Amino acid sequence: MLSRGRYVTKPIKEIMDRVTGFTEVKAARKYRRRTVDEKREIVEETLSSGRSVEEIARSHEVNANQVFDWRKQYLKGRLGVDGRECALLPVTVNEVNESCADEAGDRSSERPLA
C-alpha cells in the first residue's frame, strides 16, 4: 500500500480487480415470439382440456397471464380467423345513376331522425 499524506492508497490493479467483480452484466433474456397459430392452439387447449391454464402455460413455457390475455383476444375474435389471415377482396365502384341517387335521397328523408 502506498501512503500519500493522511490517506492510504491501494495499487490500481487491486482496486480494479475488486470493481470488476461487481460490474458483471447478465446476458439479455431472449423471449420467443409465438405465431398466431401457436397462440390459438395454446388457447384452444386451455378451453377444451380439463387442465388449468397455469399447467398448460407452463408446458408451453409461457407466462399464464399471457395465455389469459390471448384467451380474451380469442373470445373476442381478435386472434386470427381459423388459421387464416383476413384477406382484402377486390371491389369495383360504378358511377351512380342520377335516378338511383334521387331514390336514395327520398328514402333517407322518409325516416324520422332519432
DSSP state letters, 35-88: PHHHHHHHHHHHHHSSS-HHHHHHHTT--HHHHHHHHHHHHTT-S-BTTB----
Question: How confident is the model at residue 62, as a pLDDT?
Answer: 95
Question: How confident is the model at residue 80, as a pLDDT?
Answer: 74
Question: How confident is the model at residue 83, as a pLDDT?
Answer: 46
Question: How confident is the model at residue 37, as a pLDDT?
Answer: 92
Q: Per-residue confidence of the chain (114 residues) as pLDDT tens digits?
A: 555 566 666 676 666 666 555 555 566 667 789 999 999 999 999 999 889 999 999 999 999 999 999 999 999 988 876 545 567 788 888 887 777 666 656 555 556 665
Single pTM value for the model: 0.47
- Residue 2 pairs with which residues in a beta bridge? 9
Residue 101, CA distances (Å) to 38, 55, 98, 106 in order: 49, 60, 5, 9
